[in-house]
Amino acid sequence: MNRQGFSIAALLLASLLFLQFNASASDQLSVYISVDMEGVAGVVASDQVRAGGQDYQLARQWTTSEANAAIQGALDAGATEVVVNDSHGGMRNIIASDLHPEARLITGSPKPLSMMEGLDESFDAVIFIGYHTKAGSFDGVLDHTYSSASVFSLKVNGTEMGEAEVNSLIAGYFGVPVVMVAGDKNFCEQAREMIGDHLVTAAVKEGIGRTAANTLVPVRAAELIREKTTEALNGLGNAQVRHPESPAVFEVTFLYSAQAEAAELIPDVKRTGPRSVEFTRDDFIEAFKLFRAVLLVARN
Ligand SMILES: [Zn+2]
């Protein structure tokens, strides 16, 4: 091959590689879905979300139906991989045999990253289904922050946060944006305030206090979730990643002083008040894991 021929061949090869790279980059869409239960349409009472409670089996079906709607919405938007993480209580709520066959299911507990187990840098978008307001909210169905038996409030770097906010920072740690959330109306507003204006929301019910709601029926909730999931993923280009600050300072205020007494037994956990403790870690995931250990110790 002469010199000119070689340059032309090299140019062709480079263009081919460029096209190939771009095609493969845009062909992949990995979606991660974390599924809680308190925010699912039809759910208003704690026994509906407690294994063995009245109507728990029904609420599991509604939860699985909302997860399926999000999976289908993701597939409609071109998702090539969908991972669903069961994120409520003992994390065995989603009925595996009824889940959309295109998805993988992460089930059971404990899991190191809890409600965000299985997420890493390879994903493109995160979705929260069945989520709820933080502890101490107006008209938030079953509002709480990780544990209604022990946590009065959680602050991260001075800002009060609920589960959606903390989990959005875990997503940000891996460089992945949260693009859609479903839950009650007030939860959707809280999440949007914290996560950003790009967030698409599906309000499947409106709280009337903590244990009552005006709710869509499951079939309608599923339609809304499917549609909003597709909309959110189609607008993925506008989504902002929420990176956690370093160092991460967690301040937990418990319901009872005995819980803070137990928590401060852990090294590096400082007592900051009768019912509160604080700890700091440079790495957000390390801080989050320490937070989980603090909750476990406080619960006993
Ligand atoms: Zn839950």
As annotated, the active-site residues are 144
Band (13; pLDDT cuts 50, 70, 90): low
Cα(50) to centroid(ligand 1), Å: 9
Task: Assign residue 239 a region (left: φ > 0; alpha: ψ between -120 and 50; beta: otherwise).
Answer: beta
Ligand 1 is an ion; its neighbours by CB within 5 Å are: 36-38, 88
The pLDDT of residue 300: 79
Cα(42) to centroid(ligand 1), Å: 14
Predicted TM-score of the model (pTM): 0.91
The pLDDT of residue 7: 59
Residue in 45, 264, 5 with CA at minimum distance from that of residue 148: 45
Span 97-120, average pLDDT: 98
Look at residue 52 and tell me whether its pLDDT is greater than 50: yes
Cα(245) to centroid(ligand 1), Å: 26
The answer to whether 295 and 147 are in contact (CB under 8 A) is yes
**Average pLDDT score, the chain:** 93
Cα(9) to centroid(ligand 1), Å: 59
Cα(167) to centroid(ligand 1), Å: 13
Residue in this structure with the two tokens 């137990």, named with its chain if needed: 262
Cα(205) to centroid(ligand 1), Å: 16
| Exposed e or buried b per residue across 234-272, where buried means at least 16 C-beta atoms within 10 angstroms of its C-beta | eeeeebeebebeeebebbbbbbeeebbebbbeeeebeee
Domains of the chain: 28-146+162-238 (3.40.50.10780), 248-299 (3.30.1360.130)
In angstroms, the Cα distances linking 86 to 17, 62, 195, 228, 293 are 39, 13, 21, 20, 20
Condensed to tens digits (0 to 9), the pLDDT of residues 180-200 reads 999 999 999 999 999 999 999
